Structure 1
Amino acid sequence: MSTFVQIRDAGVAADAGDGFDSPAKQKAASRSAYSYRPLLNLRRAKQFLGASKFKLFLGLFALSVVILVTSRLSSWMGWNPHHPSSVSSTSRAGYTVLINTWRQKSLLKQTVAHYASCRSADAMHVVWTESEQPSERLKTDLNKIVVLKSQKAHKSNFRFYINEDYESNSRFRPIKDLKADAIFSVDDDVIVPCSTLDFAFSVWQSAPLTMVGFVPRMHWLDKEQNNVAYYRYGGWWSVWWMGTYSMVLSKAAFFHRKYLDLYSHEMSPSIQGYVSRERTCEDIAMSLLVANATGAPPIWVKGKIYEIGASGISSLRAHSHRRNRCLNELISLYKPLPLVSTNVKAVSARNEWLW
């Protein structure tokens, strides 16, 4: 055993003395050491993490690489699968934007300009509910805006829909010669980005008989006396706290055009009378109508919307009391209660980091 050690040491000594410090040998030695560094690092990592943890680490690393490559592949190849704008293709119909306006001419121009730029907007109708008729100058200006802002060869069909009785039910009067089944009902002070609107439209296409919107509201049973239930109307903070909703407001929502006919011709005259007197309940009435027809909840779409201009009637102190009273009055005309609560929310996975 000692002889072997002496022979090995002698060999090393011989190598050391036989030109080991020459440039060629130094370069070869450095290459050899460098080539083994990755393997040495892997061995050290394996010893540090342990066999099972090391395999998990490698698996996660490989998965990260795959996700990165696939996410970049679409941009490298010019391919964008399932883009929201695909709903505007000729094989699929667009939607009609139904704008409710009241004494906000400057906001109306801004709103019309925005929705005219949305490619899937097939038509635009402004529901005019003021006693004073719109001027010819305003009509001309809005038509020019639609032509200027439209981004497709076929310009959006633009019309004023003037109601002589200028009351809340006028918002949901039937409209003749509509080509699209989808109605996007929106207030004149609400802006929804076109990409967000296209996503909501695709959600509605998957469930065209329900309401699909951006402004969720809820109801809950507060108390019951003498077999009479009293319900509370919950705004956004109630939805956020409870995690449920049962309505989406027509200030920014899709629904099928057939509900315009049902609202005007099939809904109880007593409901229409109450809405006409109160002037703030037509959105609740429409939610009840659709829920009663489908027996299903609406769908809330997650997405940013922007309210322009000054605060509306919802900022008034008496608004909450009026909404509670309106909800209970309208519910009393339905037996049983048609509203269905849900906690489902439609979210575009393209805009989320985690599923």
Structure 2
Amino acid sequence: MKIPAEQEAQKLPNNFRLCRCSAPRNRGWLAFWSVLLLFSVVAAITAFQHFHYDSKQKQEDLTNIKTEHLTNIKTEEFTIILQTYKRDNILLKVLKNCLAAPHLQKIIVVWNNIGVAPSQKLIDSLGQHSIPVLFMEQTRNSLQNRLQPFAEIHTEAVLMLDDDVLVSVPDISFAFIVWQQFRDQIVGFVPRKHVEISPGVYNYEDVGLTPGQRGERKYSMVLIGAAFFHRRYLKLYRDQPKAMHDLVEAGHNCEDIAMNFVVSLHLREIWADGRSAGIYVKPMDMRNLEMQASGDFKGLWHRSDHFKQRSECINQLTKIYGVMPLQLSDIIVNQYSRVK
């Protein structure tokens, strides 16, 4: 799902000295070192251009994210929040997969099956495990139920997952490492973007991540259906204007877009120039299990007006907050190449 370090100008070592030679040889050595220094500068510039970063983010050298060099990363744990509605069979698969993740402290299942308690069969099917799995039964079916600042969360890191998304354990572990380096941002696997189609009017769009121009691969949101973020954002989300919560409830949609607004607005406060709400981690193995669900409930994204409704959400949120806080980024973190 954090390693930014300011790059300092390269300096010659303090013990560097020109050899003591006659004047003609001194000029020769001076020419030699001048050429060598010139080539070093050119090489440094070339390397920097190869790893181009969004200038506003100032998050340099993501290539340093290496799972084999983590001696400076403190040991900590994370909590999974997983909201579910009428999908017991695929929920079980997702839970069993999550229980294998290192550094997992607890799983909170936000149970939106109103009036129907989790079955003992489901609980028993989890088998023997040492990780607490808490089923939090809700009194109403709301997308925003999972965004409560639960008192049961005792870790800074929260991994939020949809109940039909199966993310491999290596992907979860790597994204957690990335999040530890970018603790103020959403670190996840599903990027999206806003596109200004006319002054102050925006569309919600998918992100083309196929090889091409970097500008074609930018994103401004990382959806929270498969993402790490700091638990502080749950409280910040709760404390947002009533108009924002009403917007999400009315359309039964867009709580993930609203969270990206919340994070972006917070980043504007703590960073003078702001930065993108999220960091996109390209997964090695992430699957959608919806087709395996035993019930007839389908995800909201199946609705014919899904993208239109989410575009409207972006425009309404911009009016509520009086600003468009989302910023584009083209940083893509991968377990092998780190940055694409």
Whether TM-score is above 0.5 comes out as yes
- Are the equivalent residues in 1 in contact too, given 2:157–2:230 (CA < 8 A)? yes
Residue 235 of structure 1 deviates from its aligned partner by: 1.3
The answer to whether structure 1 residue 236 and structure 2 residue 211 are counterparts is no
Give secondary structure in 1 for the equivalent of 2:320. coil
Equivalent residue, structure 2, for 1:199: 174
The one of 266, 271, 292 equivalent to 2:244 is 271
Give secondary structure in 2 for the equivalent of 1:291. helix
Change (3 A) 1:319 1:84: farther
Which 10-residue stretch deviates more, 290-299 or 311-320?
311-320
- Are the equivalent residues in 2 in contact too, given 1:84–1:195 (CA < 8 A)? no
Equivalent residue, structure 2, for 1:294: 267
Equivalent residue, structure 2, for 1:334: 321
- Are the equivalent residues in 2 in contact too, given 1:212–1:248 (CA < 8 A)? yes
Equivalent residue, structure 1, for 2:18: none
Task: Give the Cα–Cα distance (whole angstroms) in 2 for the partners of residues 178 and 239 of structure 1.
Answer: 37
Give secondary structure in 2 for the equivalent of 1:294. helix
Deviation per CA, 1:122-170: give whole Å up to 9, x if none.
Answer: 110111122232234145325x43x34xxxxxx2121011221221111
Residue 239 of structure 1 deviates from its aligned partner by: 8.7
Equivalent residue, structure 2, for 1:159: 134
Counterpart code for 1:308: L
Counterpart code for 1:159: L
The one of 177, 180, 194 equivalent to 1:219 is 194
Task: Give the Cα–Cα distance (whole angstroms) in 2 for the partners of residues 166 and 345 of structure 1.
Answer: 35
Counterpart code for 1:162: E
Counterpart code for 1:326: C
Higher helix share: 1
Counterpart code for 1:256: H
Greater relative contact order: 1 or 2 (C-alpha under 8 angstroms, separation 6 or more)?
Answer: 2
- Any gaps of 5 or more consecutive residues in structure 2? 1-64, 269-274, 292-297
- Are the equivalent residues in 2 in contact too, given 1:85–1:195 (CA < 8 A)? no
Give secondary structure in 1 for the equivalent of 2:219. coil
Change (3 A) 1:354 1:299: closer
Equivalent residue, structure 1, for 2:333: 346
Change (3 A) 1:316 1:255: same
Q: CA RMSD in A?
A: 2.6
- Are the equivalent residues in 2 in contact too, given 1:85–1:119 (CA < 8 A)? no
- Are the equivalent residues in 1 in contact too, given 2:112–2:141 (CA < 8 A)? yes
Task: Give the Cα–Cα distance (whole angstroms) in 2 for the partners of residues 114 and 331 of structure 1.
Answer: 38
The structure number with the bigger radius of gyration is 1
Task: Give the Cα–Cα distance (whole angstroms) in 1 for the partners of residues 68 and 140 of structure 2.
Answer: 39
Counterpart code for 2:243: S
Give secondary structure in 1 for the equivalent of 2:234. helix
Task: Give the Cα–Cα distance (whole angstroms) in 2 for the partners of residues 176 and 353 of structure 1.
Answer: 35
Equivalent residue, structure 2, for 1:250: 224
Instruction: Map residues 174-193 of structure 1 onto 2, 5 A cutoff.
Output: 174-193=149-168
- Any gaps of 5 or more consecutive residues in structure 1? 1-80, 149-154
Deviation per CA, 1:208-237: give whole Å up to 9, x if none.
Answer: 11111100000011013xxxx210101134
The answer to whether structure 1 residue 112 and structure 2 residue 95 are counterparts is yes
Residue 335 of structure 1 deviates from its aligned partner by: 2.5
Task: Give the Cα–Cα distance (whole angstroms) in 1 for the partners of residues 204 and 210 of structure 2.
Answer: 10
Task: Give the Cα–Cα distance (whole angstroms) in 2 for the partners of residues 185 and 131 of structure 1.
Answer: 21
Counterpart code for 2:310: R
Identity %: 26
The one of 286, 289, 295 equivalent to 1:308 is 289
The one of 309, 324, 334 equivalent to 1:322 is 309
- Paired residues, number: 258
Counterpart code for 1:272: H
Counterpart code for 2:98: Y
